[in-house]
Structure 1
Amino acid sequence: MTTPAPPRSAGPSTSTADTDRADGTPGADPTTSAEGTTGGPLQGLRVVEVGQLLAGPFCGQLLGDLGADVVKIEDPSRGDPLRMWGRQRPKDQSLWWSIVGRNKRSVTLNLREPEGQDLARALIAEADILVENFRPGTMERWGLGYEALRELNPGLVMVRVSGFGQDGPYAARPGYGAIGEAMGGLRYVVGDPSTPPSRMGISIGDTLAAMFATIGALAALRERDVSGRGQIVDSAIYEAVLGVMESLIPEWQLTGYQRERTGAVLPNIAPSNIYPTRDGTWMLIAANQDTVFGRLAAAIGQPELATDERYATHVARGDRQVELDNLIAEFTVTQGVEELEALLIEHAVPHGKIFRPVEMLADPHFQARETITTVPHPVLGDVQMQNVFPRLSRTTGTVRWPGPELGAHTAEVLAEVGVDETRLAQLRERGLA
């Protein structure tokens, strides 16, 4: 068994230097593309992504952010539907796609046709990871199931993201992030108790499943270093949601307690809430620990509250949560937000303003850490977006380019598996690429 060779130094154009994968077979492993070098801790890994919309592609984004060479296969006629998503589309460009498609090379192939499937197999044969998020059985119908692919590439890690997982009575059902959020328990506890179950303002079910899928992929690669063999990573959206639901299950099983919607607070965790300010904004204050509450009591000019038996302990504060929140709000509403923040900083009380993009872009901490990065876009000019997280001290990832135009890298990538210009023209004429 061999491990991937160190990446070649970047050159001015696409590199097709060969490296060995962990199963010992050679694979093309470009360290540069037309957009620039890959970089990052996953440099040298080849990922083929055949998913669409969010759960699979977000997994691909995370791997690409960390330096993997992500080859995204899309349908030639329309591409990933995410290219059309988003409330704002300046110059007919999806801002959502500019993020989820970043650091990827777009290749168009018709996977419903045998020749398109053959070309996909040629790319997957040289890949470390395959990411897909179709309904279970789809890849098998296309001749791209794991059993067939591992004959070509025994070291392949196949990441499969779906609504309900690859087996079980619900596996064949269509599953979206919203369904997983409902089934995994999140929707029931989100919102105000006076309203029906609510949703988060983002596609949290899809992104959680993608994050678990990414963890699974990296774990499978680590195991491959030992065994030389790939495996399937099965990430179900509803299970990913359940995975972050804390003690929801044993609370019911052992005590019969059912968590309910509680709005801006967690029951019995006090004080920890958003509080009004004089200028109409809000400040989040989290001072539920005994020592921290003492500092908050001093900050609001009532240090005696820290020793008052009604508020002196975690349990007592929880029992009087509404009463205590009202007491704190009576003080905060007399303060401007900047004045209040200075006071909380002085007394080392954990707090945070409620940020929107306008506050994020102006905030000195965001700026100092480059939490938001600026990426050149061929149509929109400079686009600001979230940077790569987490950060690594030596080999952190980068945003090398935004989501590319459909098929922008088809010729480049297919050339790596022997498709010349003449054949590519024929494929395009027949709607296969």
Structure 2
Amino acid sequence: MQYICVTETTPISTRAADDLGPGPLAGMRVVELGQLVAAPYCGQLLGDLGAEVVKIEDPNGGDPMRQWGRQKPDGHSLWWSVVGRNKKSVCVDLRRPEGQDLVRRLVAQADVVVENFRPGTLERWGLGYDRLSADNPGLVLARITGFGQTGPYSGRAGYGSIGEAMGGLRYVVGDPSAPPSRVGIAIGDTLAAVFAAMGVMSALIERDRTGRGQIVDAAIYESVFAVMESLIADYEIGGQVRERSGSFLPDVAPSNVYPCADGTQVLLAANQDTVFRRLAKAMGEPGLATDPRYATHNARGARQAELDRRIAAWTATMPWERLDEICQEHGVPAGIMFRAPEMLADPHFRAREAIVRVAHPYFGDVPMQNVFPRLSRTPGEVKWAGPELGRHTDEVLTRLGVDAADVARLRREGVLR
């Protein structure tokens, strides 16, 4: 049983300026197909920047993200309030021919479709790109999967965790004395979503020149692999397999976690030559910057543990507040590990409005991250939190031209929620 949510659409070029909302993507129409993290986060990014995004939902419970993460006793998910923000929810049963026809009508006037099903799923529903683009040559279809649309692994189930492992990230995360660890967020899915969103923007710019859309093929493992720096060259040319190193990067020193007298753990990052000179002066040992053992990046990397012990002995003599004063005075990057309480209390977060509070019918005001990056003239906006399941069905279909009697009939027949 599969379902899809869709949006009423009119080409951007025919929409009146006063119909467009805020944000640089105002007027762009997106149909979001998929569930969990990858496609929904891509949709969130596009919606944050002003696109109209309408989301796929299963009428019998909706996207599983509605149940994931921290929940109130009534089952409402805080995570959904973030990843579902700025979206419209309309549910159509794709088991029915009427549902499939309705989706094709809607996509014919959309700018973008985002999906994260296994390759071939859309084709089985009669929603493959060949068919959709025949009615809408300018359509951009972003397809997010574990392994991509081609290749021997393309048909495999591919969750974000598997993509993180195959892309090389899982192996290098954690302490070397322990098995490979994970980052504490769904980083593989979110990286794929970011790359997919970047691909959508690029395809839309190209469409302005040619009038033609295209497929954006974003694989989770490739999105992770893309941020793995010189991992491959390190091995093939340098003869080194990058290993887990815990709180530091091998041969990059000093850049580690150091103790303070009050028990605070502080990050210092002074691996660049000029910054290390400032750190040496802050420590009251300016001669370290010209000492052949520490004067260059390679020399410091070769004596990384020795240098870290020396810095730790210095930081341990004072509380974090005093260390922070000294580091800021000398221009040395320093900071503590922030959790949610520190973020909510921090004056810099507050001054830049990095956290916004969004009205929610069950939670009251929900604090969440603002829209990033910040644009000076057409900034994005969080307009509403993740909506109730099927909340926008009547609005969307009525504006599409489906009359109230047909909406009622389709609802009675189970095609709509």
Report if aligned partners of 1:184, 1:241 keep a CA contact under 8 Å in 2: yes
In the other structure, the counterpart of 1:175 is: 158
In the other structure, the counterpart of 2:182 is: 199
User: Deviations 1:282-335 (Å, cap 9, x if unpaired)?
Assistant: 111000112211211121222222222221221111111011111111111121
Change (3 A) 1:295 1:171: same
Partner SS, residue 244 of structure 1 = coil
Partner SS, residue 382 of structure 1 = strand
Match of 2:56 among 73, 76, 96: 73
Question: Which 10-residue stretch deviates more, 166-175 or 300-309?
Answer: 300-309
Match of 1:350 among 333, 338, 357: 333
The separation in 2 between residues aligned to 1:373 and 1:423, in whole angstroms, is 40
Match of 1:388 among 371, 381, 385: 371
Amino acid at match of 1:161: I
In the other structure, the counterpart of 2:96 is: 113
In the other structure, the counterpart of 1:360 is: 343
Change (3 A) 1:97 1:232: same
1:408 aligns with 2:368: no
**Residue 359 (structure 1) shift:** 0.6
User: Deviations 1:12-69 (Å, cap 9, x if unpaired)?
Assistant: xxxx895555xxxx6x78976xxxx731000010000011111001000000000000
1:426 aligns with 2:409: yes
Question: Which 10-residue stretch deviates more, 203-212 or 92-101?
Answer: 92-101
The separation in 1 between residues aligned to 2:144 and 2:263, in whole angstroms, is 43
1:341 aligns with 2:324: yes
Match of 2:357 among 374, 380, 384: 374
Partner SS, residue 255 of structure 1 = coil
In the other structure, the counterpart of 1:10 is: none
Partner SS, residue 131 of structure 1 = strand
Q: Where do 1:9-48 residues align within 5 Å? A: 18-21=10-13, 38-48=21-31
The separation in 2 between residues aligned to 1:18 and 1:197, in whole angstroms, is 49
The separation in 1 between residues aligned to 2:319 and 2:207, in whole angstroms, is 56
**Residue 420 (structure 1) shift:** 2.1
Report if aligned partners of 1:76, 1:432 keep a CA contact under 8 Å in 2: no
| Count of aligned positions | 409
1:280 aligns with 2:298: no
In the other structure, the counterpart of 1:102 is: 85
Partner SS, residue 338 of structure 1 = helix
In the other structure, the counterpart of 1:245 is: 228
The separation in 1 between residues aligned to 2:257 and 2:12, in whole angstroms, is 54
Amino acid at match of 2:123: E
1:218 aligns with 2:201: yes
Report if aligned partners of 1:83, 1:94 keep a CA contact under 8 Å in 2: yes
Amino acid at match of 1:280: G
Report if aligned partners of 1:131, 1:158 keep a CA contact under 8 Å in 2: yes
Amino acid at match of 1:66: L
The separation in 1 between residues aligned to 2:327 and 2:280, in whole angstroms, is 11
Report if aligned partners of 1:129, 1:157 keep a CA contact under 8 Å in 2: yes
Question: Which 10-residue stretch deviates more, 323-332 or 112-121?
Answer: 112-121
The separation in 1 between residues aligned to 2:257 and 2:74, in whole angstroms, is 38
The separation in 2 between residues aligned to 1:62 and 1:278, in whole angstroms, is 42
Amino acid at match of 1:317: R
Partner SS, residue 262 of structure 1 = coil
1:123 aligns with 2:119: no
Report if aligned partners of 1:63, 1:214 keep a CA contact under 8 Å in 2: yes
The separation in 2 between residues aligned to 1:64 and 1:309, in whole angstroms, is 53
Partner SS, residue 56 of structure 2 = strand
Q: Where do 1:80-91 residues align within 5 Å? A: 80-89=63-72, 91=74
Partner SS, residue 157 of structure 2 = coil
User: Deviations 1:387-419 (Å, cap 9, x if unpaired)?
Assistant: 000000100100000000000101101112222
What TM-score do you get using the length of structure 1 for normalisation? 0.91
Report if aligned partners of 1:270, 1:314 keep a CA contact under 8 Å in 2: yes
Amino acid at match of 2:227: V
What TM-score do you get using the length of structure 2 for normalisation? 0.95
The separation in 1 between residues aligned to 2:379 and 2:294, in whole angstroms, is 45
Change (3 A) 1:417 1:348: same
Amino acid at match of 2:90: V
Change (3 A) 1:403 1:183: same
The separation in 1 between residues aligned to 2:324 and 2:89, in whole angstroms, is 46
Report if aligned partners of 1:29, 1:44 keep a CA contact under 8 Å in 2: no
The separation in 1 between residues aligned to 2:307 and 2:70, in whole angstroms, is 40
Match of 1:322 among 305, 313, 318: 305
Runs of 4+ in 1 over 6 A off after TM superposition: 28-32
In the other structure, the counterpart of 2:132 is: 149
User: Deviations 1:321-378 (Å, cap 9, x if unpaired)?
Assistant: 0111111111111211111111100111011211001111111111111011111111
Change (3 A) 1:118 1:19: closer
The separation in 1 between residues aligned to 2:150 and 2:11, in whole angstroms, is 35
The separation in 2 between residues aligned to 1:224 and 1:201, in whole angstroms, is 37
Report if aligned partners of 1:191, 1:262 keep a CA contact under 8 Å in 2: yes
Q: Where do 1:223-242 residues align within 5 Å? A: 223-242=206-225
Cα RMSD, aligned residues only? 1.6
The separation in 1 between residues aligned to 2:184 and 2:244, in whole angstroms, is 16
